[in-house]
Amino acid sequence: MALFAVLQTTFLLVLLPLGTYQRKVSSEPLPLTPESLKVSINSTCQCLNLQWSVHNLPYHQELQIIVQIQISRIKTSNVVWVGNYSTTVKRNQVLHWSWESELPLECATHFVRIRSVMDDAKFPELKSWSKWSSWEEVDVQDSLGHDTFFLFPKDKLVEEGSNVTFCYISRSNQNNISCYLEGIQVHVEQLAPNVSTFHLSRVPFVRPKGTNIFCDVTQGEDPKGTILYVSKVLEELKDFSCETRDLKTLNCTWDPGSDTALEIQPSQSYTLFESFSQKKKVCKHRNWCTWQVSQDSQEMYHFTLMAENYLRKRTVHLVFKLTHRVRPMTPLNFFLENINSTNATMTWKVHPIGNSTFLCQVELHHDGQIIQNKVFMEMNGKYLLSEMEPDTHYLARVRCAYGNHFWKWSEWIGRKFTTLEAAPLAALDVWRNVKSVPGGYNVTLFWKPLSKFHANGKIRFYNIAVENLDKPSQFNLSILAPSNNTALILHKYSYQIRVTASNSMGTSPASVIVISGDLGDKDIEEERVKGTEDGFSLSWKPQSGDAIGYVVEWCDHPQDPLCGLQWKKLGPNTTSTVITSDAFRPGVRYNFRIYEVSTKWIASLLEKKTGYSQELAPSDNPKVAMGSLTSHSFTLSWKDYSTESQPGFIRGYYVYLKSRMEQCTSGFERTVLSDAPANCEHKIDNPEQKTFTVENLQPASSYEVFVTPYTSTSKGPNGTFTKVTTPDEYTHMLIRIILPMILCILFITIVCYFKIQWMKEKCYPDIPDPYKSSVLSLIKSKENTHLTIMNLKDCIPDAIEVVNKPEGSKTQPLGIGKSLTETEFTKPATYLYLLPTEENPSDPGPCVCFENFTYNQAASDLGSCGHIPVPPDAPPSQLGLLNSPENLLKTLEKDYTNTLGEISAGETSLNYVSQLASPMPGDKDSLPTDPPVPAQCSEYKMQMAVPLGRASSPPSEDSSLSSIALLDQGEHYR
């Protein structure tokens, strides 16, 4: 144990000095330790610039070392970047290195330290890191000034798509600060108590004046801002090329790309550098630059084009031999000579380049198409253009290239020209339309204008020579172009017509047509053909066998009056063709006539065809007339319906019938198609059958009927049904009876109307008017001036007739004193004679009395209107007051009006007493002596209503003769 302690102490004593030595060695600076580290800030590039030296290098030779750099932010422990920097170093050499900070350096304190290590295999003993230098602090915040707010970086220039970090230092309140990028607020993060940052990613180019970033610090202060200049990225140089036109000057061009100019950065500059000659030229233009070819016969050139702005450089290289980049100048003195209808000569000159030959290319254009193209070695600058068409516009041009080595063609030089005209090449295509008129024909000639190829120029006029083949004679016509038809009136002979076209250089071959004296119109049946979208396929059978051709004729617009006549000429061996036309429209019927042209140029009609390029449904339905209506049938008729004007061949008709019956009538079938307008239909297959009788109907039933045509395509349009109601079974019988009866009555009525006078005379003759009586004329003719018509006032009553009904006595008021009538009640009537009737009371007086029994049935029962005798003992005193007719009338009127209201209905009846005219007052004295014949005085003169009730009352002095009729001597007629 003691021994162990001694050994331990000895060991420690040995180690202690060793450890002391070790410490001594380590305290000395190692040879590669960086010294004199200085760190500064470059605000423009946001760079930390480091500068140091290595004093204690053990060797004097240059050594390869690696320097490790550590950068911390805010505090030393917050290392933000560590990196190595490899360089060579000599003793006491000052080294420089720079680091670009993402965060603006003004916003945070940065710390830097470095160490190094030998990177050389010859000195393995120095293969360990030196000591770190001490931390070097960089802080510029104190040197910013006295402002309270700073925003960094200032006016930074970056490329489009870069990421940029901004920071601000606010020495006042941090909370109220908002920052904006082009007016849009950005998100801010706090980095330190008074430092905040915000980051912009992939910044775009906005404007040359820069992108504005500003912060609202506090109210009442200027906005603090900065500008971020975002440059477009300098593009790669494209299409860099150099060439010479004269071996003296090189012209280099390139595609410059977009301009990267900003307020703080000019447009990119372009510099041309030639390696062989080591010459350099700054280009003034953005996309081209000239270079003087050196006089020392330099053949090879190596150009470097460099584009440069503040942020980037681009270069592109081009190596070439000068003679391989020759593009001759545009030929000059270009002329076209000896131009005729098919040929022309072109001449030109080329700018000479030494003794070189040139390759030239000639082109001839027409309507934008290359007609001729020729490349040849240019000998004399001349070329003959041939095989051109007359009267045609052309463009001739030439260009040349360097003959020794082809690089590029020169620009074209050329001219437009027109060849001269030539005589028309081909005969006109002529056709005719012949219409027979009295005494001759109307011949209309049509021709198609010659194609440009055949016309060989502008056709000025058409010549028509008409030769009479029967009677040798001829006449000529000239029609000015561009007319394409003319009309001729010819006699009924055969004519040969020759048509030619003329331009300024000549006339075309003639086209011949012969119009035969006999048109030979044949009744040829029209055949139907089916057209397609591609046209009409027509075929025919040759007739004569020696035809020189066939002509198919049709109208493009058959509905137009001008019709648009078209024709197609075919060879003799052709018996079919397809007729096509852009004018063909669906639903239009086209008629084709096929003619055979004989060897004598006479065209005769061979066949007729008709058809539609596409059949359509009928455009309208027939107007159907109804007839023969019976209780079991009716007939439909549509004879006015034209099948020819329809947009398709009418194949037949459908008759539709609607009824309330579930079963269709016989002849009709039940339809199952949903588009059928009714459930019962009858199909008529014959388009010419335009009547149809619907039979087996129910009497007194309603039906609806509709007729529509159909083509191969479809039926006609939907229309309205016609309503039909079948009559009752007996109706027609009734009609057979009632109608004749009505006719008979009508006949009788008419007969009666025309014979009414006769009827009147026979059945109810007119009551004669005494004033109009023929007696008057008789009287006058006898010149008996004393005879005249009696006036009422001249009529002196001579009798009173008291009329009373037998039952009237029952209602007679009692208590009235006996009067002269009391004794007369047993008699039917009593007459009072007021005038003396000594001679014969029964003689007829001058007046005749009628009783109108229409008003008094009771009175009529009396059966007579004769004078009823009045008792002769009637006191005349009672009558004396009535001697004067005036008094009597007054009394009567007064009494009548008084008594009318007193008579109750049923108790009384009226008895009208008519009075004939009495003799004139002047004849009063002579009346008794010469009374008039009763027959001559048989008219009504006046009627008076006499109340019967009162008639039976005894007359008093006041009311005397209220029921008395005033009568003169005369007769009563019934």
Partner 1 sequence: MDLRAGDSWGLLACLCTVLWHLPAVPALNRTGDPGPGPSIQKTYDLTRYLEHQLRSLAGTYLNYLGPPFNEPDFNPPRLGAETLPRATVDPDVWRSLNDKLRLTQNYEAYSHLLCYLRGLNRQAATAELRRSLAHFCTSLQGLLGSIAGVMAALGYPLPQPLPGTEPTWAPGPAHSNFLQKMDDFWLLKELQTWLWRSAKDFNRLKKKMQPSAAAVTLRLEAHGF
User: What is the contact surface with partner 1 in residues (CB under 8 A)?
Assistant: 154-155, 180, 182-183, 206-212, 214, 220-223, 225-227, 261, 263-264
CB of residue 101 to partner 1, shortest distance in Å? 19
d(CA 424, CA 239): 54
Q: Which residue, 222 or 957, is less far from partner 1 as judged by CB?
A: 222
Q: How far is CA 116 from CA 70, 95, 127, 156, 281, in A?
A: 11, 12, 10, 34, 45
CB of residue 201 to partner 1, shortest distance in Å? 20
Q: Which residue, 229 or 634, is less far from partner 1 as judged by CB?
A: 229
Closest CA to 937 of 791, 804, 781: 791
CB of residue 80 to partner 1, shortest distance in Å? 27
CB of residue 181 to partner 1, shortest distance in Å? 9
Judge whether 888 and 882 are in contact, CB under 8 Å: yes
Q: Which residue, 225 or 921, is less far from partner 1 as judged by CB?
A: 225
CB of residue 224 to partner 1, shortest distance in Å? 8
Q: Which residue, 210 or 403, is less far from partner 1 as judged by CB?
A: 210
Q: Which residue, 107 or 848, is less far from partner 1 as judged by CB?
A: 107
d(CA 185, CA 223): 14
Across 731-756, b (16+ Cβ under 10 Å) vs e yields eeeeeeeeeeeeeeeeeeeeeeeeee
The amino acid present at 639, given as its one-letter code, is K
CB of residue 142 to partner 1, shortest distance in Å? 17
Q: What radius of gyration, in Å, describes the C-alpha atoms of the chain?
A: 72
Rounded to the nearest angstrom, the gap between the alpha carbon of residue 244 and the centroid of all alpha carbons in its chain is: 63
Q: Which residue, 59 or 310, is less far from partner 1 as judged by CB?
A: 310
Going by C-beta distance under 8 Å and a sequence separation of 6 or more, which residues neighbour residue 99? 47, 48, 50, 69, 71, 81, 83
d(CA 163, CA 397): 57
- For residue 61, give both structure tokens: 């030779």
- For residue 651, give both structure tokens: 């194949």
Going by C-beta distance under 8 Å and a sequence separation of 6 or more, which residues neighbour residue 283? 269, 270, 271, 272, 289
H helices of 410-549, where?
Answer: 452-455
Q: Which residue, 9 or 267, is less far from partner 1 as judged by CB?
A: 267
Q: Which residue, 145 or 520, is less far from partner 1 as judged by CB?
A: 145
Q: Which residue, 170 or 726, is less far from partner 1 as judged by CB?
A: 170
Judge whether 100 and 42 are in contact, CB under 8 Å: no
Q: Which residue, 185 or 473, is less far from partner 1 as judged by CB?
A: 185
CB of residue 147 to partner 1, shortest distance in Å? 11
Q: In the sheet that 912-915 helps form, which strands lie side by side, from edge to edge? A: 942-944, 912-915, 849-852, 972-973
Q: Which residue, 43 or 330, is less far from partner 1 as judged by CB?
A: 43
Q: Which residue, 214 or 653, is less far from partner 1 as judged by CB?
A: 214
Per-residue DSSP letters for 844-901?
Answer: --S--EEEETTS-HHHHTT---SPPP--TT--HHHHHTTSSHHHHHHHHHHHHHHHHT
CB of residue 258 to partner 1, shortest distance in Å? 14
CB of residue 386 to partner 1, shortest distance in Å? 55
Q: Which residue, 267 or 442, is less far from partner 1 as judged by CB?
A: 267
CB of residue 162 to partner 1, shortest distance in Å? 18
User: What is the 3-class SS of 757-806, one letter each residue?
Assistant: HHHHHHHCCCCCCHHHCHHHHHHHHCCCCCCCCCECCCCCCCEEEEECCH
User: What is the 3-class SS of 472-532, one letter each residue?
Assistant: CEEEEEEEECCCCEEEEEEECCCEEEEEEEEECCEECCCEEEEECCCCCCCCCCEEEEEEE
- For residue 489, give both structure tokens: 């009136």
Q: Which residue, 206 or 676, is less far from partner 1 as judged by CB?
A: 206
CB of residue 256 to partner 1, shortest distance in Å? 18
Q: Which residue, 266 or 717, is less far from partner 1 as judged by CB?
A: 266
The amino acid present at 861, given as its one-letter code, is D
Judge whether 424 and 502 are in contact, CB under 8 Å: yes
CB of residue 158 to partner 1, shortest distance in Å? 14
Judge whether 708 and 716 are in contact, CB under 8 Å: yes
CB of residue 183 to partner 1, shortest distance in Å? 3
Question: Taking each helix axis from N to C terminus, what angle separates 756-763 and 731-754, rounded to the nearest 10 degrees?
Answer: 70
d(CA 368, CA 417): 14
Helix, coil or strand: residue 327 = coil
Closest CA to 593 of 534, 542, 527: 527
Total Cβ atoms within 10 A of residue 666: 9
Please compute, for residue 122, the number of CA atoms within 13 A of its CA located in the half-sphere on the CB side. Answer: 7
CB of residue 186 to partner 1, shortest distance in Å? 13
d(CA 90, CA 417): 84
d(CA 491, CA 515): 10
Q: Which residue, 198 or 301, is less far from partner 1 as judged by CB?
A: 198
| Bridge partners (DSSP) listed for residue 668 | none
What one-character DSSP code corresponds to residue 390?
T
Q: Which residue, 224 or 568, is less far from partner 1 as judged by CB?
A: 224
CB of residue 156 to partner 1, shortest distance in Å? 10
Q: Which residue, 206 or 395, is less far from partner 1 as judged by CB?
A: 206
CB of residue 219 to partner 1, shortest distance in Å? 9
Closest CA to 48 of 116, 94, 91, 111: 111
Question: Tokens 């060991």 correspond to what residue?
Answer: 11
Total Cβ atoms within 10 A of residue 959: 16
CB of residue 22 to partner 1, shortest distance in Å? 56
CB of residue 285 to partner 1, shortest distance in Å? 17
Question: Tokens 């009553």 correspond to what residue?
Answer: 797
Question: Tokens 């290359």 correspond to what residue?
Answer: 370
d(CA 561, CA 565): 11
Judge whether 104 and 165 are in contact, CB under 8 Å: yes
